[in-house]
A and B are shown apart, each in its own frame.
Chain A
Amino acid sequence: MSGVQPIKLLIAALGGEGGGVLTDWIVTAAEKCGFPVQSTSIPCVAQRTGATTYYIEIVPVPARELGGKRLVLALTPGIADIDIALASELMEAGRLIANGFVTNDRTAIIASTSRFYAMDEKIAMGDGRYDQKRLSKAIREHAKSALLFDMAEAAKRSGAIVNAVMLGALAGSGLLPIPAEEFEAAIKGDAKGADSNLKGFRAGLEAARTRKTAVAPKPYQRASREQADLQSLEREISASVSKAARAIMIEGVRRLASYQDLSYARRYLDRLQRIREADERAGAGGKLLAETARHLALRMSYEDVIRVAQAKIDPTRLRRIAEEMKISGDPYAVYEFLKPGIDEFCQLLPPFLAKPILRVSERRGWLDRFHWGMEINTASISGYLRFWGLSKLRRFRPRTHRFVKEQAVIESWLDLVVAASKISSPLALEVAECARLIKGYGDTHKRGAANYRAIEIRIIRSALAGEIPLTRAADAVASARTAALVDPEGESLARCLAEIEGQPAFRAAAE
């Protein structure tokens, strides 16, 4: 009698995932088997700042066999005192471990590999997502046994909410002395959404039993379409280039041909010619070519008003929106949020008009003050025509102010890459990667371009002039670039640049 210990089960779910209902189902199933059971819940915090947790203690001996004795069951989970942990999301599972509830001497964990990104991960200027593989590895190392699969995907496929899938996985794992039928009966007893929940339950059950789960569909990739007249260009590429670079260059050629025209794609390849030579000279093994090709394709297809208009009226885009909203023949409207300013209008003008307008606007502070916010319905004829007209300006693009400016910056960047490749291959790679800073629209673009200029003048050119010792140069560029992507206010970058420049020069002599 004194040896009877309750089975301790801790559930972590996010708001809206039905953790409370899941707890009720488990309690119902346990009660049907005659086991004494108690559950408590800890209220949730919305906005993904905390999980909702539910704690259940089940005595694995039917009450009638306890000889009238009643066990005292705890209301809160204890550190290192959990037998089964259930989590609906991978980071939540990690949180359970970090809080000490999951230990590798006794806890079996069942968790979903799906992610609901936290604020810190979402707001990073580059890529702030936590390394999923590292997380999964940590979970496996810290639990006695781990069953990890994509519950969100299983739930979506069955039209159920994830709690049904969690129940199925728990049932199928055999960790509780409760037969799967009892769990299923608990769901059936619940009137709301019983059918889809049962489907979700069975999906979870199968995942637990077979340890084989349907692979989630790969996130769709939108590679540019093949075009007949590009074949000769593409053949040129395939002949003499490494595999990684080849795929990128083919994508680049297709993208630029659709962005502008065939001769623009030709220009892309011509520009890459000297990069190829630089790559071979520096012995970078094709990596310099691949990375530069990638960034060059992105830079040459810079996002201007014409490109945006072209993308907005793309029929595949409207089809995709219709699919997502399950529009089957119903009338719909798609309102685009646009707010062009003087800058955007000058993008379309030739340099002799744009330059004086921009000069005056900058001096009078009009650039920041005047923007025209609009919501244009692409599904209406007038809205569509507006975008259609803009996209037709494509043939005038080479004569626009922005085009001239962009090409000059691109050439200057390529010059830097080639110059760096003559000195050191890692430095050339870092310089090429700096193109990543220039992206986006409006203020984002201005900030990125300014950051790039700062790094170019203060670090890259110094390194090329020998003012920064070679062993530190590549590192300096990489650090500055990372600092630029830390905060939009630019404080990290300012500090990083000051640090690099402040390093005493006599160290170079010592080397």
Chain B
Amino acid sequence: MDIERTLRSLGVKWLRTIRSYSVATMTKTLKEALNSSQRGLKVIIADGECQLARQRRVRAEDAEKLKRGRRVVKTRYGVDDEICTGDHSCIRLSGCPSLTVKPSPDPLRTDPVATVIESCVGCGLCGEVAHAAVLCPSFYRAEVVRNANFWDRALHRFRQTVIGWLDAREARA
């Protein structure tokens, strides 16, 4: 049963389907809906799989793939504790239970800094929010390729070598 077709057949003219994890697009669409001069019901279908349900599915799939030696990309988000200044706007805007605080490793700061803990499922909402609300440059996404193929390894080795040279120059400087 198609939600969109059903709604249109019920007479809804203003209809959008937005991926719920695209925060910026969703905010824009909501504003559009609220400011629209068109009369009548406006519907936004927030399309997004529950991350917990997705995790249960993906975790099992990945474990299976890993066992069979297939290529798997693991994703996790993180916050740079050196760049975070402990304002927590990101936590205020995102309800993620894996985004919490930890004591700052900076000996001069007393406020706790934001951190992403192990339960992170890699949905990317924190990053989307950081972009949509133009928060700060502390967020990053780390991707690891397990059971990488030849090209993955070759490219990575090449990159690491060049970066290693640059790093060594820095250290000497």
Chain A positions within 8 Å of B, measured between CB atoms, are 16, 46-48, 116-117, 119, 121-127, 129, 219-223, 247-248, 251-252, 255, 294, 297-298, 303, 308, 311-315, 317, 321, 324-325, 327, 330-339, 341, 371, 373, 375, 378-381, 384-385, 388, 439-444, 488
- Which 6 residue pairs spanning A and B have beta carbons closest together? A331-B156, A441-B136, A337-B139, A439-B85, A335-B141, A222-B105
Question: Chain B 82-103 against A: per-residue CB contact (8 Å), 1 yes, 0 no?
Answer: 1101111101100101011111
The distance from the CB of A490 to the nearest CB of chain B, in whole angstroms, is: 14
Complex alpha-carbon distance, A349 and B111, angstroms: 31
One of A220, A294, A315 near B105 (C-beta < 8 A): A220
**Chain A residues positioned under 8 Å from B7 (CB to CB):** none
**Additional 4 contacts, C-beta under 8 A, given A221-B107, A440-B89:** A337-B137, A375-B127, A379-B156, A443-B134
Q: Closest residue of chain B to A14, judged by CB?
A: B97
The distance from the CB of A374 to the nearest CB of chain B, in whole angstroms, is: 9
* Residue B34 lies at the interface, judged by CB distance under 8 Å to chain A: no
Q: Closest residue of chain A to B154, judged by CB?
A: A331
**Chain A residues positioned under 8 Å from B87 (CB to CB):** 125, 439-440, 444
Complex alpha-carbon distance, A294 and B110, angstroms: 10
The distance from the CB of B11 to the nearest CB of chain A, in whole angstroms, is: 37
**Chain B residues positioned under 8 Å from A332 (CB to CB):** 142-145, 156
One of A125, A331, A336, A341 near B140 (C-beta < 8 A): A336
A439/B86 contact (C-beta < 8 A), A129-B112, A221-B105, A381-B163 known: yes
- CB distance A126 to B86 under 8 Å? yes
- CB distance A16 to B130 under 8 Å? no
- CB distance B145 to A315 under 8 Å? no
* A-B pairs with beta carbons under 8 Å apart, 15 shown: A123-B88, A219-B102, A222-B107, A303-B85, A311-B83, A314-B82, A321-B142, A332-B143, A333-B142, A334-B140, A337-B130, A378-B140, A385-B166, A442-B135, A444-B87
* Residue B153 lies at the interface, judged by CB distance under 8 Å to chain A: yes
* Residue B49 lies at the interface, judged by CB distance under 8 Å to chain A: no
Question: Chain B 146-173 against A: per-residue CB contact (8 Å), 1 yes, 0 no?
Answer: 1010001101100110110011001000
Q: Closest residue of chain B to A295, judged by CB?
A: B108
- CB distance B152 to A441 under 8 Å? no
* Residue B80 lies at the interface, judged by CB distance under 8 Å to chain A: yes
* Residue B119 lies at the interface, judged by CB distance under 8 Å to chain A: yes
**Chain B residues positioned under 8 Å from A443 (CB to CB):** 89, 133-135
The distance from the CB of B135 to the nearest CB of chain A, in whole angstroms, is: 7
- CB distance B92 to A251 under 8 Å? no
* Residue B64 lies at the interface, judged by CB distance under 8 Å to chain A: no
- CB distance B134 to A440 under 8 Å? no
**Chain A residues positioned under 8 Å from B92 (CB to CB):** 123, 488
One of A125, A331, A338 near B155 (C-beta < 8 A): A331
Max chain B C-beta neighbours (<10 A), residue from A16, A336, A378, A380: A336
One of A48, A117, A325, A327 near B101 (C-beta < 8 A): A117
